[in-house]
């Protein structure tokens, strides 16, 4: 697709991978709006990137409906939705609380569903669109202590496959991106230490891969891909 002049909504766009994606799309000439829960962080990021913002929580159906409606009211249409908002809680099975599992699912699964549903209604009417779901290599292989996070990404992968099959007939491209470890604030937010290394992935690598996937002619698309560091060890 031609990114210049395209309209893009990026959830979780105030930091990390979401912010890098918003910056990359902006550089390519897209009209970008970022969304997230923290108004102050959104304002700081939007000013830095010179993009628009809409405050909202993807876990709230009312917020999601309002966000997509406001986006389309402002920009006239929605060409790209990047479902990036997500977080993790990590604990052994015997220590995991139901409330923790539900909290992760509200954002990573239900939030992604709500955003996709509202955007898809516009995609279908337009006869075109691009839905990009940011998952994780944790959604390909589970691991110790990752009951909530990995299973939420497995769920996102399953939903993506359903949406891809459903929306292709409307000329909508649905893609799943599985980053491996990326140097962001994700680990600190989840409560564990991430060792910095110049060998590990940066958010910009994920953003560059997404731009490349989007720029493929609309007659084709990459359904799913992973991004690994070459030699992080």
pLDDT averaged over the chain?
A: 97
**Those residues with Cβ within 8 angstroms of residue 54's Cβ, 6 or more apart along the chain or in another chain:** 33, 34, 35, 67, 70, 71
pTM of the model: 0.96
Output the pLDDT for position 128: 98
Mean per-residue pLDDT, 199-227 = 97
**pLDDT-based confidence at residue 189 (cuts at 50, 70, 90):** confident
Percent of the chain with pLDDT over 70: 100
Structural domain spans, the chain = 7-227
Mean per-residue pLDDT, 98-116 = 98
Q: Which CATH architecture has domain 7-227?
A: 3-Layer(aba) Sandwich (3.40)
C-alpha pair distances (Å), 197 with each of 15, 77, 166, 190, 191: 19, 41, 41, 19, 19
Q: Please check the confidence at residue 8 and state whether its pLDDT lies above 90.
A: yes
Known catalytic residues are 136, 149, 153
53 and 31 in contact (C-beta within 8 Å)?
no
Q: Please check the confidence at residue 180 and state whether its pLDDT lies above 90.
A: yes
Q: Please check the confidence at residue 191 and state whether its pLDDT lies above 90.
A: no
Strand partners, 8: 32, 80
Question: How far is the C-alpha of 15 from the C-alpha of 152, rounded, in Å?
Answer: 21
**pLDDT-based confidence at residue 194 (cuts at 50, 70, 90):** confident
């Amino acid at each position: 697709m031609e990114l210049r002049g395209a309209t893009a909504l990026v959830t979780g766009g105030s930091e990390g991978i979401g912010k890098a994606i918003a910056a990359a799309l902006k550089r390519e000439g897209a009209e970008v709006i970022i969304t997230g829960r923290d108004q102050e962080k959104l304002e700081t990021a939007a000013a830095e990137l010179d993009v628009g913002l809409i405050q909202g929580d993807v876990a709230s159906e009312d917020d999601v409906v309002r966000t997509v409606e406001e986006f389309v009211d402002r920009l006239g249409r929605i060409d790209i939705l990047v479902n990036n908002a997500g977080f993790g809680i990590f604990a052994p099975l015997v220590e995991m609380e139901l409330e923790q599992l539900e909290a992760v699912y509200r954002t990573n699964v239900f939030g992604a569903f709500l955003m996709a549903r509202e955007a898809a209604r516009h995609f279908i009417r337009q006869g075109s669109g691009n839905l990009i779901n940011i998952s994780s290599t944790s959604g390909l292989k589970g691991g110790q202590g990752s009951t909530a996070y990995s299973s939420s990404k497995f769920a996102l992968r399953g939903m993506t496959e359903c949406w891809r099959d459903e929306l292709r007939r409307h000329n909508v491209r649905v893609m799943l991106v599985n980053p491996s470890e990326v140097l962001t604030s994700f680990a600190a937010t989840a409560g564990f230490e991430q060792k910095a290394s110049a060998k590990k992935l940066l958010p910009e690598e994920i953003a560059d891969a997404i731009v490349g996937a989007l720029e493929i002619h609309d007659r084709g698309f990459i359904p799913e891909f992973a991004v690994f560091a070459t030699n992080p060890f």
